[in-house]
Amino acid sequence: MVLKNLGRNMHSYRKSNGWSQETMAWKLKCAPSTLSGIETGKTCPSVKTFDKICVEFEVNGVDYHELTMDENLEFQKVKEELILALNSKGKKTIEKKLEKFKKYMDHENEEHQKYVLLSDLVYMLKSGMDKEEFIERIEELFPTNHGTEKSDMLTGQHFTKLEHFGIYLKANALLETGYLEKAQELYELLLNNGFNDNTDYYRKRCNSVSAGLAKLLIAKHDYMKAEKCIGYIFSKAIKNIDGRVFFQVMCLQQELFKEMGNTEGEKIINDFFEAAAAMINYFNKYYTITDQ
């Protein structure tokens, strides 16, 4: 795999010059932890860092043409497309995205293997696998039951995108099978770790986790906390002008109103949905007629 080979070249080049990771990181103007990730093939360098690597190699007479930045960034895109397919798409889309992923993957890379194993698990779940079996097998991939106290679980954890998504799927399965306390621990674990609010990816993940937690809290009749979750998602939807998230939060709010016996609030949202559907149907007919 190209990322792994780049890392090997980086490591050999640094060692041949007698440089520490700190020294090499200073030359590339990146953090030593970033360089360590690049050398082990676990981190995709940014465009800026990759350009500095190429210059460093070129200046010192090292030729490296195996990896282009386009290929590098394409693989990152392929991984995110696969996660998106696993989250909300059908089996055919999963097959297509997984096939594309396998063209880029390093078959000896443990994380890449986990992408394939998780894809197979989700595919089997969509094909009718028992959720109890799914929970058991996904726990093997992304273990979280180490006998630690809940307070210890909520801090100091660092997850990759794959780990974060895998634990999220496990929390959803636990919620759907009635293991509310275990599901809540995982949702809270995800909300307290690994989020960088400056990235669009983690903002979306945070919205999804918050929505799952809100559903769980409604099921537990903990309406005060559920309202806080829904309020958070609503504020993000308004701030980012995200129509999809806005409709998602309206569905959650309607469910909460129903459980609380707030018939007025439930009716207002229902009327809103009916008006939105009528508007969409009207415009579909209007523009179909206009275009003819």
CA-based nearest residue to 184, from 152, 223, 215, 139: 215
193: its two tokens:
């770790």
Query: What's the whole-model pTM score?
Result: 0.70
188: its two tokens:
């809270």
156: its two tokens:
């100091």
With vertex at residue 234, the alpha carbon angle to CA 224 and CA 236, rounded to the nearest 5 degrees, is 125
Using one digit for the tens of pLDDT, what is the confidence trace for 158-181?
677 888 899 999 999 999 999 999
Using one digit for the tens of pLDDT, what is the confidence trace for 8-19?
878 888 888 888
Name 123's Cβ contacts closer than 8 Å, sequence gap at least 6.
Answer: 91, 94, 95
Q: Give the pLDDT mean for 64-92.
A: 75
Q: How far is CA 28 from the centre of its chain?
A: 29
User: What is the rounded end-to-end Cα distance, in angstroms, of the chain?
Assistant: 52
Name 10's Cβ contacts closer than 8 Å, sequence gap at least 6.
Answer: 24, 35, 38, 39, 53
* Percent of residues, the chain, with pLDDT higher than 90: 40
Dist. CA 11–CA 35, nearest whole Å: 9
